[in-house]
Amino acid sequence: MVALADSGSAPCGAGPGLRVELPGLRLAHPVMNASGILGSSAAALRRLAEAGASALVTKSFTLERREGYPTPIAVPLEYGMLNAVGLSNPGLEGLKPLVEAARALGRPVVVSIAASTPEEASVLAAAAEEAGADAVELNLSCPHARGRGLVLLWDPVASRRVVEAAASAVRIPVYAKMGLVDRLADRAAELLGAGAAGLVLINTLPGMVIDVYAARPVLGNRVGGLSGPAIHPVAVRAVYEAYRETGAPVIGVGGVEDWVSAAELILAGARAVQVGTGIVRRGEGVICSIVEGLGKWLREMGAGSIGELVGAAQRA
């Protein structure tokens, strides 16, 4: 099979107006996968590359191997899904082979890492850089080292330290991936001040589904992360506020399933978007259908490039 890296044309046939640049990432178009969706194996990453993703984002790696939570780990919902996968991953030893396999596919590679301490963050970020990643995405929704059920991002000091440690361990850019927190824009500014080159907004929102006949929560972990269309307006607002207050490079994620939902995040301030649940619900063909829709939208808006529309809703 011909390596994708050798096939000259842009993924999804994207025209030059759809090119975007972010720290460390020159993208043929703004659409990539979200961490945790088709990012755990070489075969899955190949599927993503063949489906036209402009960058390949890995599942989050932790230092130690994690088995994940007991089943069921996901519940499909009318308006999205609820999952409690529990960051299952092979740990540091699985990072290098996966990143090397991703690199061979000829797309920029973003390695997601989840660290509970600054030390873990620097080891994981350095390993990602050494393996050939173009950027690191730091998943700040990792369990907090100090407490069961706590999330690192909820502790402003700890999350700043983890960002600082990752950013100072590498030369490639580190993106801080945030979930929903109070004073989101201020917190984003703090993480940028700690060395993050950009932001990825947003992670899943905590939720629960209860089986009314079994009279107990459906997920093995009881609580899970809500994703998909249900969280899209929340993501749009998060991107809008973070971009308005910081002007930083933002990758928007949350409920993108078609070009309109992608365009909303771009108008709010995202330079690129990630698709997670949209791939689960609609298949990876959704990537090119979003890219094609964005291309048509660009022409309809009379814009020469996507860059002209990034954050345009802020000026309205």
Which residues are identified as catalytic?
142
Which residue lies nearest ligand FMN, judged by its C-beta?
36
- List residues bridging with 111 in a β-sheet: 136
Which one, 74 or 166, has the nearer CB to ligand FMN?
74
> Could you give the string, one character per residue 18-57, with x where binding to ligand FMN holds by CB under 6 A and - elsewhere?
----------------xxx---------------------
Which one, 88 or 305, has the nearer CB to ligand FMN?
88
- The per-residue b/e assignment along 148-170, b for 16 or more CB within 10 angstroms, e otherwise, is eeebbbbbeebbbbbbbbbbebb
Residue 17 and residue 305: Cα distance in Å, rounded?
4
Least distance from ligand FMN to the Cβ atom of residue 194, Å: 18
Least distance from ligand FMN to the Cβ atom of residue 114, Å: 7
Residue 193 and residue 197: Cα distance in Å, rounded?
9
Least distance from ligand FMN to the Cβ atom of residue 201, Å: 9
Q: Does 231 bind ligand FMN (CB under 6 A)?
A: yes
Return the residue of 30, 195, 255, 295 that touches ligand FMN, per CB under 6 A: 255
Return the residue of 102, 253, 286, 310 that touches ligand FMN, per CB under 6 A: 253
Least distance from ligand FMN to the Cβ atom of residue 277, Å: 3
List of E strands, the chain: 20-22, 25-27, 31-33, 56-57, 74-77, 80-83, 109-113, 135-139, 174-178, 198-201, 205-207, 210-211, 216-217, 224-227, 250-253, 272-275
DSSP 67: -
Return the residue of 29, 59, 103, 271 that touches ligand FMN, per CB under 6 A: 59
Residue 273 and residue 289: Cα distance in Å, rounded?
14
> Could you give the string, one character per residue 88-117, with x where binding to ligand FMN holds by CB under 6 A and - elsewhere?
------------------------x-----
Return the residue of 277, 289, 291, 311 that touches ligand FMN, per CB under 6 A: 277
> Could you give the string, one character per residue 191-210, with x where binding to ligand FMN holds by CB under 6 A and - elsewhere?
------------xx------
End-to-end CA distance of the chain: 49
Amino acid at 36: G
List of E strands, 171-288: 174-178, 198-201, 205-207, 210-211, 216-217, 224-227, 250-253, 272-275
Which one, 49 or 140, has the nearer CB to ligand FMN?
140
Which candidate, 57, 53, 55, places its Cα nearest to that of 37?
57
Q: Does 159 bind ligand FMN (CB under 6 A)?
A: no
Interface residues with ligand FMN (CB under 6 A) are 34-36, 59-60, 74, 81, 83, 85, 87, 112, 139, 177, 203-204, 227-228, 231, 253-256, 275-278
